[in-house]
Amino acid sequence: MSFGRRSLIDPGPLSKQRSDTLRLCLQSIRFGRIPSLFASQHSNSEDYPLYAKYNPAKFQPLTFHDAVPAFKDGIDDPRKYLERCLETIEAREPVVRAWVEMNIPAARSAADASAKRYQAGRELSTIDGMPVGIKDMLMTKDMPTRMGSPLFEGNHTKQDSACVQALRAAGAIVLGKTVTTELGMSHPGPTTNPFDPLRTPGGSSSGSAAAIGARMVPAAIGTQVVGSVIRPGSFCANCAIKPTLGALNRGERLGFSQSHLGIHAGDLEDMWQVSIEIAKRSGGDPGAPGLYGGPALHAAARAARLVVMEAEGAPLLDQATKGAFESFLSDLRRAGVHIIGRADHPLVEAFERAISESLAISRDICAYEMRWSLENLVEQFGGGLSASLGSRLDIARKMTLDDYRLVLSKRDAARAAHLAISHIADAIISPSSVGPAPRLDNNGVDSGIVHTTGLPNYNAVTSLLGAPTITMPLLAVEELPVGVQVIGQQHTDDSLAGIARWIMQTIHLA
């Protein structure tokens, strides 16, 4: 391995990063240096001529929970597991560019310590020895926190965020920092989609989602204010959870009233175990009861009834994605699930009306809440913000306190409408995105904001509601991943995971 503790991203202008990324993508395709996505877990670096076509029935994600028995038996150990991850990273990182910085010596030392604990039968948790990526919006004491902005180059806090403290206490291996969009908003970093290097991985948790899709690590931490966990999870074939608002301690990330800590993983078991191990040690946000649930993933539980949500995404579905999702719903019906649409119940219709402005409401809430931070940056640096972030500041400057109160009241009304349908169905279901990942050079706009990492039309509503949401990599459209999400009432994360587990075990898609 050639990696040490080093930065893996060019700190220059973001536009230059994106240009360099496209060049690297084309070179890698030309010379056929992309490893197979379908290699076995213990052989992660086999050469493959091109990015593999995504097939949810055949894709093998990297997982951790099923490696633990071999650790306990002495057949394998966390250090060997880490080295396999590093081999995959070395092979794929030049094009995928999921990482900002990695601390390889510290990771190896942590893996060796974990191996000794397994030998002694004294492992700290179910995720002891698991290599994990940390979104570069969250502090790590041994690596800088750049937050996707050149204004924060060299920002070394020398502190761990609450979730990072929890991960270390559980014996997990904090491998490195994953790429985020600028300040966790819309302006992209250099990361590419692990299934097509000319497409976006989504954002803002770009690197975390891509690292999972590329089989670099079994789990990574993300954050979501609008759609930053679920949408990239959809584009990169992740199992990912945006839990109930406040269920996982956000640490220093408390500046937004609808920000969530989220978990990206290769499967539901690892997703849940990372979530619950964090919750055990750092709890939820101040004043919140934290994540409810047991130490293991909830048993598979068939949903008797599911509400199909249109939100602001249905009008934008392309025909291929619409067809794939309708076929999926047909499979659910054949499995005995009653599907309820907006025309089937007046309260569902009222819910759809209440969430019909989720994008604009989220835009304005976020703009108002981040104004003071952006004003400080402008005063301190005299600029350095992208046009996208500048447009958010312009919106905030035009808002009054009454404007903010108005959008908060609309959010409250949406949450009330969601609660009102709780007796109608076990959960809500919809696509996790309006289609597969768009090309890197797309010109996407939502609610007046440039959004080239994909449109969050199915995601803003879940952040607005503060509702637990799990995306599952169930669909293939244009031979690329598209997720399906289930959405529950607040604090039903545990049972929602059981529904997701039943769906993934029952609905077999080619």
Compute the Cα dihedral for 437, 441, 446, 451 and give only its sign. Answer: positive
Cα–Cα distance for residue pair 100/158, rounded to 1 Å: 17
Any idea which residue has 């509400």 for tokens?
307
Instruction: Give the pLDDT confidence of 144-193 residue by residue, as tens digits.
Output: 999 999 999 999 999 999 999 999 999 999 999 999 999 999 899 999 99
**Residue 355, SS3?**
coil
pLDDT tens, residue by residue, 270-304: 999 999 999 999 999 999 999 999 999 999 999 99
* Cα–Cα distance for residue pair 75/437, rounded to 1 Å: 39
Task: Give the bridge partners for 222, in sequence order.
Answer: 262
| Paired strand residues for 103 | 5
Section 333-349 average pLDDT = 98
In which band, very low, low, confident or very high, does the pLDDT at 33 lie, cut at 50, 70 and 90? very low
**pLDDT class of 129 with cuts at 50, 70, 90:** very high
Nearest-angstrom CA–CA distance, 226 and 238: 18
Question: Backbone phi, then psi, for 91, in 5-degree steps?
Answer: -75, -35
Contacts (Cβ under 8 Å, ≥6 apart) of 100: 7, 8, 9, 136, 146, 176, 177, 178, 179, 207
Average pLDDT over residues 246-264: 95
What does the pLDDT average to over 449-457? 91
pLDDT at 329: 98
Closest CA to 313 of 114, 106, 487, 152: 487
Q: Which residue has the higher pLDDT, 107 or 446?
A: 107
pLDDT the model gives residue 446: 76
b/e code 210-236 from CB counts within 10 Å (16+ = b): bbbbbbbbbbbbbbbbbbbbbbbbbbb
What confidence tier does 20 reach under pLDDT thresholds 50, 70, 90?
low
Whether 44 shows a pLDDT value over 50: the answer reads no
Contact call for residues 293 and 318 (beta carbons, < 8 A): no
In this prediction, residue 448 carries a pLDDT of 79
- For 471: left if phi > 0, alpha if psi spans -120 to 50, otherwise beta; the answer is beta
Q: Is the pLDDT of residue 334 over 50?
A: yes
Of the candidates 117, 216, 457, the residue with the CA atom closest to the CA atom of residue 321 = 457
pLDDT of residue 8: 56
Q: What is the mean pLDDT of the chain?
A: 91
Structural domains for the chain = 5-282 (3.90.1300.10), 305-466 (no CATH)
Task: Give the separation between CA 443 and CA 24, rounded to whole angstroms.
Answer: 21
Return all residues near 359 (Cβ < 8 A) that are at least 6 apart: 226, 312, 446, 447, 456, 457, 460
Give the Cα separation of 153 and 510 in Å (integer). Answer: 44
How many beta carbons lie within 10 A of that of residue 52, not counting itself?
18
Question: Could you say which DSSP state residue 143 is in?
Answer: B
- What does the DSSP 8-state code read for residue 439? B
Residues near 373 by beta carbon (within 8 Å), at least 6 away in sequence: 255
User: Which long-range contacts (C-beta less than 8 Å, at least 24 apart) are formed by 81-84?
Assistant: 81/111, 81/129, 81/131, 82/107, 82/108, 82/111, 82/129, 82/131, 82/173, 82/175, 83/1, 84/41, 84/42, 84/44
Q: Is the dihedral of CA 440, 443, 444, 448 positive or negative?
A: positive
Using the predicted structure, report yes or no on whether residue 464 has a pLDDT greater than 70.
Answer: yes
Average pLDDT (43-49) is 37
Query: Among 190, 224, 213, 216, which Cα is nearest to 440's?
Result: 190
Tokens of 242: 């945006």
Q: Which residues contact 119 (CB under 8 A, 6 or more apart)?
A: 74, 77
Q: pLDDT grade, residue 510 (50/70/90)?
A: very low
Coil, strand or helix at 265:
strand
Alpha carbons 483 and 488: distance in angstroms, whole number: 16
> Above 90 in pLDDT, residue 30?
no
Confidence category of residue 11, pLDDT binned at 50, 70, 90: very low
Measured CA to CA, the distance from residue 9 to residue 99 in angstroms comes to 7
Give 217's contacts (C-beta < 8 A, 6+ positions apart).
62, 85, 131, 132, 133, 175, 211
Residue 449: pLDDT band (50, 70, 90) is confident
Tell me the sheet residues that pair with 223: 261
Average pLDDT rounded to a whole number, residues 220-249: 98
Give the confidence band of 60 by pLDDT, cuts at 50, 70, 90: very high
